[in-house]
Amino acid sequence: MPQRARQALALTKALVRGGHRRQTAVAEILRPANLFQPHATTSADRYPVEFAAAADALTTAAPSILSFGCSSGEELLSLRGQFPDARIHGVDINPVAVRRARRAVADDPAITVARAGDAEGLEQASYDVVTALAVFRHADLNEAPPRCDPTLRFADFERTVDRLARCVRPGGVLVIRHANFRFTDCAVAADFEAVRTGFASAGEGGLLTPIYGRDDALIGTTDRDDGIYRRTR
Ligand SMILES: C[S@@+](CC[C@H](N)C(=O)[O-])C[C@H]1O[C@@H](n2cnc3c(N)ncnc32)[C@H](O)[C@@H]1O
């Protein structure tokens, strides 16, 4: 069977099966502008160490939290578990994810969900915690090809992270995990200090995360800087 026909068949099967596979298939069919990871993989309590460390870094017990790339809402409910008094806003680029996430949090009036592909419409310096977990990556880079730009570009990462970082209040934290790029390669990182990096390296599905530089060329698979950063100014 020709490759295009095989791909079409796989997408059709995923649409019929439902769940995260349907969500991923919708992203691959729609290909919205600024899409990073199309895969919708998520689960409850995926980041207990990171969330506990973020909580320790805060001075408020009732933070305002932005979860960028919240997928179908498990991450929002996990954040609620760590931050019982938080106001939480989830954003995802995928319309099916947003619909599922809204259903998942329907009983919690302090959690809202919106569809967006960046933080452009969000108020600057208005969140104590901003998370972007397994968003700035792509499954097609898991084999560490020498360049990432046929799939993702550093320029898109930097523009998107810049807007997200500006949503963090001075004193608040940005939490980035499993990215194919380094936060400290972005100009906006000058306004942040590292609180904690060096979390476990296994990416989604136990895969390593190849890292690409400002020039979209492969740096390696170990030079990561993902973790928790505090806004200093
Ligand atoms: C692998 S899932 C990660 C879900 C969750 N953050 C976690 O780590 O369990 C990646 C999610 O990022 C979303 N995503 C990709 N590009 C995005 C963008 N530009 N804006 C918002 N969401 C995006 C996808 O739709 C998908 O739901």
Element at 122 (helix H, strand E):
none
The ligand 1 atom nearest the CA atom of 118: 20
The ligand 1 atom nearest the CA atom of 94: 25
Residues in the ligand 1 pocket, defined by CB under 6 Å: 27, 34-37, 39-42, 46, 68-71, 75, 91-94, 97, 117, 133-135, 204
> Model pTM?
0.94
pLDDT tens profile 175-221: 999 999 999 999 999 999 999 999 987 655 566 899 999 999 999 99
Which backbone phi and psi does 169 adopt, to 5 degrees?
-70, 145
Take atom 19 of ligand 1 and give the residue whose Cα is closest. 117
The pLDDT score that the predictor gives to residue 52 is 98
Spatial distance between the Cα atoms of 142 and 175, rounded to a whole number of angstroms: 21
The pLDDT score that the predictor gives to residue 42 is 96
The pLDDT score that the predictor gives to residue 79 is 98
Take atom 9 of ligand 1 and give the residue whose Cα is closest. 42
Q: What is the dihedral of CA 188, 222, 141, 40, to 10 degrees?
A: -70
Largest CA distance in the chain: 59
- 2 CA to centre of ligand 1 in angstroms: 30
**CATH number of the 36-231 domain:** 3.40.50.150
Q: Alpha-carbon torsion 94, 95, 98, 100, what sign? A: negative
The ligand 1 atom nearest the CA atom of 42: 9
- 72 CA to centre of ligand 1 in angstroms: 9
Residue stretches of the chain with pLDDT short of 50? none
pLDDT tens profile 52-72: 999 999 999 999 999 999 999
The ligand 1 atom nearest the CA atom of 27: 25
